A and B are shown apart, each in its own frame.
Chain A
Amino acid sequence: MPKERVEPGSVLIETIRPEHASLVESFCCGREDEDSFLKKDALKNKNAGLSDTFLLLKKDKTKIISYLTLVIGSFKLSESSTIKGIKIRDKDFHIYTDKIPCLLIGKLATDKEETGRGGASYLISFAIEKAVQINKTLSLPYLALHTYPENVEFYAKFGFSVAFTPERKDAETITLFMTLTDFLEK
């Protein structure tokens, strides 16, 4: 029997809080890094202002379907680069930065009993919507993430592209990005 798809009316998104402790404890995606981050680090990081973790909950709040962690990140370019006609780190143009800001999807995981319902896809949409909202007042024109090579195809279906070729052929992860600039209403 096909699983019920995640729809806006059947779920809630909540930022992680102490009262989610028992739900967090029972979450299991089966990957140690993601399970451990949610249980040990997500709330601490939020309280320290390092990242924000969003829980996708069943509407009756009995279970976490998926979770998403967002971080403000940046692409640190090499010094002599030019972007849209502006040479970065050029004092003559009063621009002395080498970092292009982005919203980084730091973690995205689904409970193993909830896979196949579209929870991760729903949270990717949420991240995009969030990035576009932020961009109405602050420039954060790219959404980025690091993923294992075998998952690149999954994210390509959403329109993410490989940002650059890793230096090492056996690199553990690949960096992907999505441009949002053409959807921004300033």
Chain B
Amino acid sequence: MARYIKSIIELTQSQTNEFLANLRTNKNEKNRQKTIKKALKTKFNVF
């Protein structure tokens, strides 16, 4: 993790373009699908 919790992530114009492009093409799609499906199947005991 980073040293500070930086909750507002400010992007430059080129970073914005890159981020918007990355939103459309997830490079780790297979792993993402697997992780989310597993998370949604798990029953968490939260108190």
Contacts and interface: CB of A to CB of B under 8 A. Distances in A.
A104 B1 CA distance: 11
A62 to B, nearest CB: 15
B9 to A, nearest CB: 5
Nearest to A146: B2
Given A76-B11, A104-B5, A161 B43 contact: no
Nearest to B37: A183
Contact of A75 (B19, B30, B31, B44): B19
Given A71-B7, A164-B19, A158 B35 contact: yes
A162 B45 CA distance: 31
A4 interface: no
Interface in A5-25: 8, 11-15
A145 B1 contact: yes
Interface of A: 8, 11-15, 33-34, 51, 54, 69, 71-78, 80-83, 99, 102, 104-109, 122, 124-126, 128-129, 132, 144-148, 156-165, 167, 172-173, 175, 177-180, 183
25 contacts: A13-B47, A14-B47, A15-B46, A73-B8, A74-B7, A75-B11, A104-B5, A106-B1, A107-B5, A124-B35, A124-B39, A126-B46, A128-B40, A156-B28, A158-B28, A158-B31, A159-B26, A159-B33, A159-B34, A162-B27, A164-B18, A167-B15, A175-B9, A177-B19, A179-B23
